[in-house]
Structures are given as C-alpha cells and as structure tokens.
A and B are shown apart, each in its own frame.
Chain A
Amino acid sequence: MEKVEDQNPQQEEDQVVNPWEVSAKDGGKIDYDKLIDKFGCQRLDQSFVDRVQRLTSRPPHVFLRRGVFFAHRDFNDILDAYERGQKFYLYTGRGPSSEALHLGHLIPFMFTKYLQDAFKVPLVIQLTDDEKCMWKNLSVEESQRLARENAKDIIACGFDISKTFIFSDFDYVGGAFYKNMVKVAKCVTYNKVVGIFGFTGEDHIGKVSFPPVQAVPSFPSSFPHLFSGKDDLRCLIPCAIDQDPYFRKTRDVAPRIGYHKPALIESLFFPALQGETGKMSASDPNSAIYVTDSAKDIKYKVNKHAFTGGQETIEKHRQYGANLEVDIPIKYLNFFLEDDAELEHIKKAYGAGRMLTGEVKKRLIEVLTEIVERHRRARAAVTDEMVDAFMAVRPLPNMFD
C-alpha cells in the first residue's frame, strides 16, 4: 500500500525514505547528507545551536547538541521572527497504532517539550486515530481508545497543560479545521496525491482524502479557539526526517491559500537495538526499549540484544578498540546521556579499547532505566480527567507566558 515517491526507486536511490518506508542502501547506514540533498532541506549547523542558546538563555537540548535534530526548513525565519518579538506555535503528532510506545516514539515529544519550555510557545498535538483506523484497519472505537492511551504517554513527557492542546481527528475535525482541509484539498490534484503517496485504484477513498487532515494543523486558523485573530502566527513542526515529503507538499500549498509555510525541524532515525539495519518493530519486543519495560527488562535487552561494535575478544578489543560507527550503546548514549564530557570520555576510551563493551552497556542501562522510570512515574500521575482537560476545546490565555 505504501510506495516510494519516485517512480523508479531502485535505479536512482539506493536508500528509501518516505513516511511509510525507511531503508538504507544494501543494508548499510542511512546517508543523511544524501538525504538532505535529495529532499532539499537545510543542515542545522552549530551556528543555529548557538543562536538558540542565545535566544532562549538556556543550554540547548541534548538532541540539538548531538545533532539528533539535524535538518530544517525555514527554522531561521522562525528565529528571526522570534528575535523581533513574534512568537510561533508548535505542531506535532502521533499515529496511535499501538499501545506500546518505545523510546524512539518519545524522541520528537521530548524535543518538543524542550522547545515549548525554552521558547515559551503553545503546542498542538494531533492524534491521527482516523488514519490508523483506515490504514491499520482498526475499528473506530479501538483507534479512539489507542489515541487516548497514547495521549497519556505523551502527557507524561511533561507538557504544560496551560499551553498545550491535544486533539484526536475523530473528535476535532469539523468547523474551521474542516474548512481549511477543503481549501488544501482543492489545491492538490488526484494525480499529485497518487504520485506522492502511491495510491492505486484499489485503495479506498478514505485514504485518498486523508492527507489534508495532517496538513491543516500547520495553519493557525484551524484552531479558532486558540489563535483567533492571529492568522499571521508561524508554525514549527518537529518531526523525524521521513515526514519531510509530507510537509513539503503542505509548504507548497500554504502560500496558495494565503498562509505562512510551516517550518520544520527534523531528526535522525532512532536505531533498533539490533543495529541500524535492523527494523524496530512492534512485534519484536527486543528491538526496542518500551516505556513499560522494567529495570530488569532493560538490563536484559541491552545486554542480550544490543548490537555492539566491540571486538570478539578482550585482547583484540584492547588492541583495536570498538567500532563506534555501528555500536548501538554508543548511539543510544548519544541520544540520552546528558553530560557531554562524560560521553566524550566514553567514546574515546571505548574507541581506543580501554573501556569494555560491558562497561558501556552498564552505563547505558543506568541512563535508560532512569528515563523509563521517570516516564513511568509521570505516566502514573496522568488520569483520564487530565486527558480530558488536555483534549478539551478551551482557550489557553497564558499560552505565550
């Protein structure tokens, strides 16, 4: 059902990256430079990171420092406007296809929370329960239920309820939101949408008419209860880079209907435990660390299933050092170990063979366990009433404070 954007996939691209498929060339690593070139987005270099630090008066998030969020479109415009005193709002989302969330799922939300705190801006979070109902063939009730369950994990990431609106498509589509959907839909021909999403004559019409649903949260007029009178407000979308083709289309359409193009800030893919070439799959619990994993599970998974770049024997390891390019514990630490100095030290020592795989894994287990533990405590504090409050169509008078 999901196809590549280009019609001749294998000849031109060795790697495939689109909202439904991500694979590297010949089982190797994803070439992100090539990706940026091909997609036409921009690299987020150090000058951006410094600028963010200056503008927000706080240390930049670990994902920025480590190049996890590494590409963007028009982020400089957002920062320019911000410097002039013009705020923006954040838009991110999740397709609630399963209850089990793993750390990879949390990454865009962790980063978005940082952005909300650092820039003091509001956030809308879209739960595309309709999309999953259609694509994964779930019942309406089940997809709505999953949306609410996922909302709890999302809330547990620490979003500020006075600045955050979470909505599910089944609940919210209609009114001003729907008007924008129709405006967008009028700008995209059937042929175009087939070209981008690879629909065939056998696909049902629900799928064909879905794309505008994910596009219009980029426009402030879709949320009259929040942004009424602020048609000029810009939107920043933190997402993984596989979403780029999607929002590229939205950016095309925006000026045609009189709106600002949404800006994007894009992240790397989070590798599976078994390595970059492995696929993180909901059916293989050992391919990822889940937010419901116990300390024991985490220890087991990292020790038994993490793909490492260590050498086969201790002697060889002391001599040659570890291959940091493929080592998963190092990659995971790159995402989650806050202390830059400590990470540098570990990389040096491990790469030179002075530190053993077991020690690196042990540190990783500590870091992951703390994150999962913190998440679980926060998650336990989320009640159904809190979800209702986050999802209520209500004004957010303090959203820029």
Chain B
Amino acid sequence: MAFSKDQLLDRLKELQIEFSLYEHPVVLTVEAQAKYVGNLGGALSKNLFLKDKKHRYYVVSALADTKVDLKVLSQRLGLGKGGLRMAAEEALVEILKVPLGCVTPFAVVNESARHVSLLLDQGFKTQEYCFFHPLSNDMSISLNAHGLDKFLKSIGRDPSYVDLEANPPVGKDQPPDLAAFVPSDAPILSDLPVKAPTQDSTGKHVSAASNSAAVAAKAVKPSGNAQNVKEKPVNTVQPSIPAADAGNFVEELLDRASALLLSEISEDSIKQHSGQLGAEVANNIKKCLREDLKNLATIFKNTAYTEGFYAGTRYQPKRL
C-alpha cells in the first residue's frame, strides 16, 4: 500500500507543482547524488530519519551544507541531550516505505508515516530549487520550496521551516523552541486512533485522560503528550477531519468519574458517612462533574456536527 514514485509524480502534476525529473543510477549518499545532479544549479538536500527514546520518529530535511547537530536538535525538541538517534533501517522501510538512502520529505505521504514529524530547513526557502528523492533513489526531482509546501498542504501537513543551525539556550526559563514538533505519543501499532498532527477530539480525550484524571482543582502537570497537544493549534491539519469517536468520549467520561469516585472514598469519608456514603459520593460526583462533562459533550457534539457539515458540503446529489 505504499505510495509509489509514479503516484507521487502524478500527484505533483495534478497539483500543478513545477518540478524537473532526473533519472540516474541508484545512489545512497548525497555525494553520490551530487555526481549526477550536483551541477544543475539547485541545492541538494540531506535527509535524516531519526527516532527518540519514546519511539517517535522525525524526518529532518536540510540543505546539504546545513550543519545539523543531533545533540542540539534533541535539546531543542525537549528530548534532553542524547534523545535523538538515527532510526533503524527496518523503521525506514516499515514507516517511510522507502529504501536505504532514500529518506525524503515526500515519504510522509504514506499512511504509515502519519505520526512522523517533519522538520524542514529554512534554508530551502532561499534556494530557487532543491533536489529530493521522489520515493526512489534512482531519481531526483528538483522543485521550489513553494512546490514542496503545496504538496505537503495537500496531504494535510503544515509545512514549517526551522533554522536547523540555531542553538538557542534551553533551560528553566527558556522552553525548548521546537517542542511543537514532537509527535504526541502514538505508535502506529497502537489501537488508539490518536494522530500526531491532527487534532482529534479523541486525541484530546486520550491524552487528557492519561494526563490528569483528577477533576478536583489541581494544577495539571503537562506530560510530554499534553505539551504537544497544547501546542497543536498551530499545526492543525487541513483536510483530515478528526473523528467524533464515541468510544473515546465515553472512556474520558468514565475516567473522570472513576477518578473522582476514588478520591471521594477514603477511610475518613467512610467513617464520616458510613451507610450514607453512596448517596453523598453520588451527589458530589454530580456536582463536581456536571459542568465538565457538559463541556466535553459539547465538544463531542460540535465535532460530530462538523464532520456532517463537511460531508454535506461535498455531497453529490443523486443523478436523475
């Protein structure tokens, strides 16, 4: 089910993205690629497929000359000093569906790469055109950064460019500046339909649930997930509509109710209310949760309505 290079090229043509195609023998490195397309005026790209300790993946695509320091990048992403390393070849094949030596920003078109975060060198914008592999290393295509943007937008990705050489301090008062690029915890193998760049109402509930179950007014400590989730409004995906998932919605409600229930039942409260504890707890739960749950329900309703609305605007009337 992987996207083929032909499908990619067709899609580029459909989107009317200008590009030039160059075929050459299989190349595995930038140096080798340079032998064939290095003198054509455009800029070559180097592409890294990286992984962090929590099995989240990143494609870092940069100008060949840009210095990419994995330690710095790791810190800027909020992963600590040694958080990033090159991903294994198997991951390359399984997630990006490309062979060795062929990492390319275009690989995120694959369904399997939905959670993969994409970091693009802002240097691309200064070049008239840049070279990338179109899902196969026996070809290179050159296109302008705008063309790449158009393609990424068409698959629901928000193209964002980063100064990869920058080394801003990261500390107590300076949060990691690239933290938004860390995908929310969702390995493709899991059952949960949580997507990284898309903002699911489901995604909300799952990470909110894992994040803080206690409804009592406690300051919520943002976990790695919540951090990304909060940053998300910037990277909302366009055409992909988040699903109003009844299952996740119910799980969220039950999580909150049971957390509150557990907090209400303690040795003290048992002593205090004994037989009446049930009624007392039931009342408290209703009182505390009413507004919160109504809000969740409204979000669910709005999401479902939006799905329907979106479908309705693309509805094809019956042919007579």
Chain A residues within CB distance 8 Å of chain B: 117, 152, 155, 158-162, 294-295, 299, 365-367, 369-370, 373-374, 376-386, 388-389, 392, 394
Given contacts A381-B199, A382-B233, A385-B241, contact A369 B299 (CB under 8 A): no
B22 interfacial contact with A, CB 8 Å: no
B122 interfacial contact with A, CB 8 Å: no
Residues of chain A within 8 A of B301, CB atoms compared = 160-162
Residues of chain B within 8 A of A158, CB atoms compared = 294-295, 298-299
**Is A380 a contact of B219 with CB atoms below 8 Å?**
no
Given contacts A366-B217, A370-B220, A373-B220, contact A380 B302 (CB under 8 A): no
Contact-residue size bin, chain B (C-beta under 8 Å from the other chain) = 20 to 34
17 A/B residue pairs, CB under 8 Å, sorted by A: A117-B294, A158-B295, A162-B301, A294-B175, A295-B220, A295-B222, A365-B219, A369-B220, A370-B217, A370-B219, A377-B229, A378-B299, A381-B242, A381-B299, A385-B310, A388-B306, A388-B310
**Is B199 a contact of A383 with CB atoms below 8 Å?**
yes
Quick one: closest A residue to B231, CB to CB? A380
Set A152, A379, A386, A394: member contacting B303, Cβ < 8 A: A386
Give the CA-CA distance A383 to B208 in the complex, in Å: 18
- Which B147-187 residues have C-beta < 8 A from chain A? 175
Give the CA-CA distance A22 to B292 in the complex, in Å: 35
Residues of chain A within 8 A of B233, CB atoms compared = 152, 379-380, 382
Q: Which of A117, A377, A379, A381 has the most CB of B within 10 A?
A: A381
Residues of chain B within 8 A of A373, CB atoms compared = 219-220
Give the CA-CA distance A155 to B292 in the complex, in Å: 16
Q: How far is the CB of A313 from chain B (nearest CB, A)?
A: 28
Q: Main SS of chain A's interface residues?
A: helix
Give the CA-CA distance A389 to B303 in the complex, in Å: 10
Set A367, A377, A380, A389: member contacting B305, Cβ < 8 A: A389
**Is A294 a contact of B217 with CB atoms below 8 Å?**
no
**Is A386 a contact of B302 with CB atoms below 8 Å?**
yes
Residues of chain B within 8 A of A377, CB atoms compared = 204, 208, 229-230
Quick one: closest A residue to B241, CB to CB? A385
Give the CA-CA distance A370 to B204 in the complex, in Å: 16
Q: How far is the CB of A203 from chain B (nearest CB, A)?
A: 36
In the complex, besides A294-B175, A377-B230, 9 extra interface pairs with C-beta distance below 8 angstroms are: A152-B233, A158-B299, A295-B222, A366-B219, A369-B219, A374-B292, A382-B233, A388-B306, A392-B309
Residues of chain A within 8 A of B222, CB atoms compared = 294-295
Quick one: closest B residue to A58, CB to CB? B290
**Is B219 a contact of A160 with CB atoms below 8 Å?**
no
Residues of chain A within 8 A of B144, CB atoms compared = none
Chain B, 40-67, contact with A by CB distance < 8 Å: what is the 0/1 string?
A: 0000000000000000000000000000
Give the CA-CA distance A160 to B299 in the complex, in Å: 8
**Is A374 a contact of B306 with CB atoms below 8 Å?**
no
Given contacts A295-B220, A295-B222, A389-B310, contact A381 B295 (CB under 8 A): no
Give the CA-CA distance A162 to B175 in the complex, in Å: 39
**Is B230 a contact of A376 with CB atoms below 8 Å?**
yes
Q: How far is the CB of A338 from chain B (nearest CB, A)?
A: 8
**Is A160 a contact of B221 with CB atoms below 8 Å?**
no
- Which B244-301 residues have C-beta < 8 A from chain A? 292, 294-295, 298-299, 301
- Which B65-119 residues have C-beta < 8 A from chain A? none
Residues of chain A within 8 A of B199, CB atoms compared = 380-383
Set B220, B229, B230, B236: member contacting A383, Cβ < 8 A: B236
Quick one: closest A residue to B228, CB to CB? A380
**Is A383 a contact of B309 with CB atoms below 8 Å?**
no
Quick one: closest A residue to B202, CB to CB? A381
**Is B238 a contact of A161 with CB atoms below 8 Å?**
no
B232 interfacial contact with A, CB 8 Å: yes
Set A161, A380, A389, A392: member contacting B229, Cβ < 8 A: A380
Q: Which of A373, A379, A394 has the most CB of B within 10 A?
A: A373
Residues of chain B within 8 A of A389, CB atoms compared = 302, 305-306, 309-310
Give the CA-CA distance A327 to B124 in the complex, in Å: 53
B140 interfacial contact with A, CB 8 Å: no
B318 interfacial contact with A, CB 8 Å: no
**Is A381 a contact of B230 with CB atoms below 8 Å?**
no
Give the CA-CA distance A394 to B308 in the complex, in Å: 13
Residues of chain B within 8 A of A374, CB atoms compared = 292, 295
Quick one: closest A residue to B172, CB to CB? A296
B218 interfacial contact with A, CB 8 Å: yes
Quick one: closest A residue to B307, CB to CB? A385
Q: How far is the CB of A349 from chain B (nearest CB, A)?
A: 18
B201 interfacial contact with A, CB 8 Å: yes
10 closest A-B pairs by beta carbon, nearest first, are: A389-B309, A369-B219, A386-B306, A161-B302, A389-B306, A161-B305, A381-B201, A373-B220, A381-B204, A370-B217
Q: Which of B175, B201, B301 has the most CB of A within 10 A?
A: B201
Set B200, B232, B295: member contacting A378, Cβ < 8 A: B295
Residues of chain A within 8 A of B299, CB atoms compared = 158, 378, 381
Give the CA-CA distance A376 to B222 in the complex, in Å: 12
Chain B, 203-245, contact with A by CB distance < 8 Å: what is the 0/1 string?
A: 0100010000000011111100000011011001110011000
Given contacts A158-B295, A378-B299, A389-B310, contact A367 B217 (CB under 8 A): yes
Q: How far is the CB of A335 from chain B (nearest CB, A)?
A: 15
Give the CA-CA distance A76 to B289 in the complex, in Å: 32
**Is A295 a contact of B230 with CB atoms below 8 Å?**
no
Q: How far is the CB of A127 from chain B (nearest CB, A)?
A: 17
Give the CA-CA distance A66 to B237 in the complex, in Å: 41
Residues of chain A within 8 A of B232, CB atoms compared = 380
Q: How far is the CB of A393 from chain B (nearest CB, A)?
A: 12
